[in-house]
């Protein structure tokens, strides 16, 4: 061995590599934040809510299939190829977007975009040239039930959601358990609200207030609606 050759400190090299990796990751996060800030500058309420849904999905550690990932990823959701503002066009201003994701409507061969708000489920299908082929708004008052079936074997990770309405039903295939869970909880809240009778004069205001709070937590009613009902119930104490 050459006595004049310098020795290599493995620990020093490893430490330097780790520092570089951490710096690279920090730089990447900074670039992503700057990119999102530029895209979101001047964005409307619903677009911001879509991005927030995507961010929360990533925080939950979601690992869905490719189609869902394209719509759940905050990065992909901001790319024009995957984020289609047309899917939000019919959403009413006083509604809040809870879910924005790619789905498949089972009575159609085409994929669609599903937008769930606190008041309705919007389905929009596009052609390969981005022309809107089909739109539907399923309002909360028309829903009579929901069933979720989780796929197995080759369909593992896919959830088939059946939404029952008065005279028809919709079968929709979701590719993200995160999105499906929000859909189920929201629609369960709609159904609970429908089956919860208005408080009678003799009803316990405290029990009624707890039920109204549950609807707020589920995103079925707004903070303003909750505050109004709360003041009404507290006035009976």
- Which pLDDT does position 53 carry in this prediction? 82
- Which pLDDT does position 154 carry in this prediction? 74
Residues 153 and 75 in one domain: yes
- Which pLDDT does position 187 carry in this prediction? 95
* Residue segments in the chain with a per-residue pLDDT below the cut of 70: 1-13, 28-29, 31-42, 58-83, 109-110, 196-205, 235-237
Q: What is the 3-state secondary structure (H, E, C) of the chain?
A: CCCCCCCCCHHHHHHHHHHHHHHHHHHHHHHHHHHHHHHHCCCCHHHHHHHHHHHHHHHCCCCCCHHHHHHHCHHHHCCCCCCCHHHHCCCCCCCCEEEEEEEEECCCCCEEEEEEECCEEEEEEECCCCCEEEEEEEEHHHEEEEEEEECCHHHCCCEEEEEEECCCEEEEEECCHHHHHHHHHHHHHHHHHHHCCCCCCCCCHHHHHHHHHHHHHCCCCCHHHHHHHHHHHHCCC
Give the residue numbers spanning the domain of 64. Answer: 39-195
- Which pLDDT does position 89 carry in this prediction? 87
The total of structural domains in the chain comes to: 2
- Which pLDDT does position 37 carry in this prediction? 66
- Which pLDDT does position 12 carry in this prediction? 54
- Which pLDDT does position 217 carry in this prediction? 81
Residues 150 and 107 in one domain: yes
Residues 102 and 150 in one domain: yes
Q: Among candidates 36, 34, 60, which has minimal Cα distance to 48?
A: 36
Residues 101 and 216 in one domain: no
Residue 131 structure tokens: 């022309």
- Which pLDDT does position 67 carry in this prediction? 42
- Which pLDDT does position 50 carry in this prediction? 82
Q: Is the pTM higher than 0.85? A: no
């Amino acid at each position: 061995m050459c006595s004049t050759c310098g020795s290599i400190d493995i620990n020093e090299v490893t430490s330097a590599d780790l520092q570089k990796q951490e710096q690279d990751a920090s730089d990447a996060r900074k670039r992503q934040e700057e990119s999102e800030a530029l895209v979101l500058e001047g964005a409307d309420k619903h677009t911001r809510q879509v991005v927030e849904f995507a961010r929360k999905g990533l925080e939950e550690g979601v690992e869905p299939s490719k189609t869902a990932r394209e719509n759940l990823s905050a990065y992909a959701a901001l790319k024009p190829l995957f984020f289609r503002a047309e899917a939000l066009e019919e959403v009413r201003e006083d509604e809040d977007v809870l879910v924005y994701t790619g789905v498949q409507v089972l009575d159609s061969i085409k994929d669609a975009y599903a937008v769930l708000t606190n008041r309705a489920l919007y389905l929009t299908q596009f052609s390969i040239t981005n022309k809107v082929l089909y739109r539907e708004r399923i309002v909360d008052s028309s829903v009579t039930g929901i069933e979720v079936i989780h796929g197995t074997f080759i369909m593992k990770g896919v959830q088939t959601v059946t939404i029952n309405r008065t005279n028809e039903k919709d079968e929709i295939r979701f590719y993200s358990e995160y999105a499906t869970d929000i859909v189920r909880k929201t629609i369960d809240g709609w159904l609970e609200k429908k089956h919860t009778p208005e408080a009678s004069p003799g009803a316990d205001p405290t029990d009624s207030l707890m039920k109204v709070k549950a609807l707020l937590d589920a995103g079925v009613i707004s903070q303003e609606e909750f505050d109004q009902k709360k003041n009404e119930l507290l006035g009976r104490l």
